[in-house]
Amino acid sequence: MLLPTPTTVNSARPMVSKMKKVLLMFIALMSVVCLSAQELRMPKYKFTDNWSISVGGGIMSSFGDKQSSFEHKDFSNPSVHLGLNKYFTPVAGARFQGEWKKFNTELEDVHTAGVYSDLLINPINIFNSNYDRKFNVVIPIGVGYLHSFKNDQSAKQDFLIPRVGLQLNYDITDAVQLNLEGIASLSHDKLDFIVNKAQYDGFITTSLGITYKFKNHNGSRGFKYIPSYDQEDIDFLNEEINRIKAECEKTPKTITVVDTIHVKDTVFVREVSPTTIRFHINSAEIAPEQMANVRNIADHVKDNAIKKLVVTGYADAKTGTPEYNQKLSEKRAESVKRALISFGVPEDRLIVGAEGDKVQQYEDNDWNRATIIVSQN
């Protein structure tokens, strides 16, 4: 493993370099202040900007014939529409809309399907340049191609119809807009397949809809003003920045001489402190309350570079004969070994021994009924 050791450092003019960086930041900050002090201007938008899609539904009411919904108070005729909108300026835009309607006559139901092209005019934006407001009023004026047909498709006819309306918009978010619109259209009297003295049939559609505004190329939605500026100011700021950059390049850079030294890789090993697993009298079975200690030792061995564990069994000298205590201590050591293996310690890393009652590790006689675990590396 290689470690770089700095031996000499030439820190010539570090303060000068820092001061010039601060000056660059100051000029950039002043440029922002200068721009904010200028008048606002409208950025250039692309043809792909200020598009939106709208969907909605409502009810349609007819007038002109004796069978009109106004006369019969039938305002339940459904209408749905889907539109694609494009604004060229904050004041003017265009809409392409498809619409389906159904209305009742005294004879039968009549369906209409139409496509429309509307000019969208925002009169508020003519006098108010605050385009960030949430509420807007739009006047749609257009013409459409309308196809009407009966339920059984027994009769069909097509018309070119004008229409005009009023739309109230509220921006729920920058992207989503709520629309309430009323629009009136006028068609030939034959539209509902009933011909009376009136030359025209009229319809008023009231609908509620949602518009989704797509992002512009600059990430905004809708029209947004940006700060205006004088080109002379921008040129001056660019010259100052370039001049300071050139001076910074002439400033002697800090030189660091590095010697390479070789260091042996070192492995740090956390040894296991001697741990005692105590047993009940005349027993080689690990008590449940002692099993947690065995588990902790096993986890420690697996997480650290410990090569060997020495497991030594003992017995107390005041109970049993030396021969019996030797065998008992061996069984106690084997019990701890099996427990360690069950917790994931490899068997080849365990050294097992037994001292019987020949060695008493503790002054308290009862404490010597134990197995002691220590690490060996």
Q: Each residue of 326-344: pLDDT tens digit?
A: 999 999 999 999 988 888 8
Residue 268: inside a domain, yes or no?
A: no
Angstrom distance (rounded) from CA 297 to CA 309: 10
Asked, for residue 239, whether it belongs to a domain, the answer is yes
Give the end of a domain, one of 195, 217, 250: 250
Residue 146 has a pLDDT of: 85
Domain boundary among 250, 283, 305: 250
**Domain with 183 in it: what CATH number?**
2.40.160.20
- Is 269 within a domain? no
* Residue 370 clears pLDDT 90, i.e. is over it: no
Q: Can you give the pLDDT at residue 332?
A: 92
Residue 247: its pLDDT value, please? 77
Q: What is the mean pLDDT of residues 101-128?
A: 84
The reply to whether 55 and 177 lie within a common domain is: yes
Question: Which residue pairs, CB below 8 angstroms and at least 24 apart, start in 18-21?
Answer: 20/244, 20/247, 20/248, 20/251, 21/248
Say which residue, 200 or 281, is predicted with more confidence.
281
Residue 45 lies in a domain: no
In this structure, the answer to whether residues 235 and 161 fall within a common structural domain is no
> What amino acid is encoded at 172 in this protein?
I
Give which of 154, 70, 163, 57 is closest to 102, Cα–Cα. Answer: 57
Q: Which candidate, 231, 174, 210, places its Cα nearest to that of 41?
A: 231
Pair (215, 349) in one structural domain: no
Q: What percent of the chain has pLDDT over 70?
A: 70
β strands within 11-134, DSSP E: 40-41, 51-63, 77-87, 92-104, 109-121
Residue 268 has pLDDT above 60, yes or no: no
Residues 116 and 134 in one domain: yes
Residue at 279 is within a domain? yes
**Residue 103 domain-assigned (yes or no):** yes
Domain coverage including residue 346: 275-376
- Using CA of residue 226, residue 140, residue 207, residue 95, what is the dihedral sign? negative
What type of residue is 123? P
Domain C-terminal end among 250, 284, 308: 250
Q: What is the pLDDT, as a whole number, of residue 369?
A: 87
- pLDDT value for 269: 45
Compute the mean pLDDT over every residue in the chain, rounded to the nearest whole number. Answer: 78
User: Can you give the pTM of this predicted structure?
Assistant: 0.49
The stretch 177-187 carries a mean pLDDT of 91
Pairing state between β 77-87 and 51-63: antiparallel
- Please indicate, yes or no, whether residues 101 and 191 belong to a single structural domain of this protein: yes
Same domain? For 29 and 70 the reply is no
- The pair of three-digit structure tokens given for residue 142, joined into one six-digit string: 């257009």
Same domain (yes/no): 21, 86:
no
Evaluate whether residue 270 is within a structural domain. no
Report the alpha-carbon distance of residue 300 to residue 45 in Å, rounded.
66
* Domain identity same for 195 and 308: no
pLDDT score at 193: 59
Does 22 share its domain with 90?
Answer: no
* Claim to verify: residue 33 and residue 141 sit in the same structural domain: no
Q: Which two tokens stand for residue 283?
A: 């027993």
Q: What is the mean pLDDT of residues 5-14?
A: 43
Q: Domain check: are 83 and 152 in the same one?
A: yes
Task: Report the number of distinct structural domains present in the chain.
Answer: 3
Inform me whether the pLDDT recorded for 243 exceeds 90.
no
Q: Is residue 154 part of a domain?
A: yes
Residues 146 and 209 in one domain: yes
Say if residue 164's pLDDT is above 90. Answer: yes
